[in-house]
Structure 1
């Protein structure tokens, strides 16, 4: 990525959700034909405990879990989804079809402003494909595009704070 941007303190409108890019691993090319990505979500368990001699129940922080992320796109000849999903596929040989080092990848999710400039970037760590849909339901009477999707389990994510909205003034 280029230089970090300065923050536009004059912005009041929220960002739109339709301008985003997804990158797999260290690729410098975004994944083709992306149409949808589910929300980044995490939750932490609450541990309740009581101290001796105190009637108040205290609450402590327990384990944190990260929800899977589902990526959808129109079916094209780009085979990024299929190759990654095949890394976890075990056929009758009893071994994964591809190298286990290809199983887990980091991804980057970049939200863009209306001008196509990056304003938020999230790094998602050690993702692997737990579900792959190669084709949707096929219906000769329907008027829809073919969508494929992958569901990514992950070991957590964080915001890259070096990316902020460019200053729109001037």
Structure 2
């Protein structure tokens, strides 16, 4: 039986879930990437030709950047402080970036294993500016898994 055709997803609604806390006010997520090293094996074949074989190496999870408008929610700051002061037993968390459909049903999860905040940046403060003040949280993790 063939699988039914599916519409592609629109990346308009997503959120972060860490230890049961869901934050949906995120405006941008970047860096969701699964990558691995490439090992080059250089050798000669039986007939004397030089070939290079490419083999899969170690996985290299990327840093994920979350951007949202500045609010009075302190979750990003509290989490960043845990890592800043070396309390890694509480700073390392498991969680996921969740993509939702138009009816707010989760359609894809990008699980982050042993994630912790690498940096927290507040947008530029400029007198007379009327743009939204943002904060960026960069999360590093040991593995990204798609569900």
Runs of 4+ aligned structure 1 residues displaced above 6 Å come to: none
Q: Which residue number corresponds to residue 16 of structure 2?
A: 22
CA contact (8 A) 1:32 1:78 kept: no
Comparing 42-51 with 149-158, which one deviates more in the overlay? 42-51
Q: Which runs of 5+ in 1 are unaligned?
A: 1-7, 91-95, 161-170
Q: CA shift at 1:100, angstroms?
A: 2.7
SS at match of 1:88: helix
Give the alignment's TM-score, normalised by structure 1.
Answer: 0.75
Q: Which residue number corresponds to residue 168 of structure 1?
A: none
Q: CA shift at 1:11, angstroms?
A: 2.8
Q: Which residue number corresponds to residue 50 of structure 1?
A: 42
Q: Which runs of 5+ in 2 are unaligned?
A: none
SS at match of 2:84: coil
RMSD: 1.9
Summarize the Cα distance change of 1:10–1:32 in structure 2 as closer, same or farther, 3 Å threshold.
Answer: closer
Distance 1:17 1:41 in 2: 16
Q: CA shift at 1:10, angstroms?
A: 4.1
- Quick one: which of 126, 129, 133 aligns to 1:139? 126
Give the alignment's TM-score, normalised by structure 2.
Answer: 0.86
The structure whose residues are more often strand, as a share, is 2
Are positions 1:36 and 2:28 aligned together?
yes
Q: Which residue number corresponds to residue 113 of structure 2?
A: 125
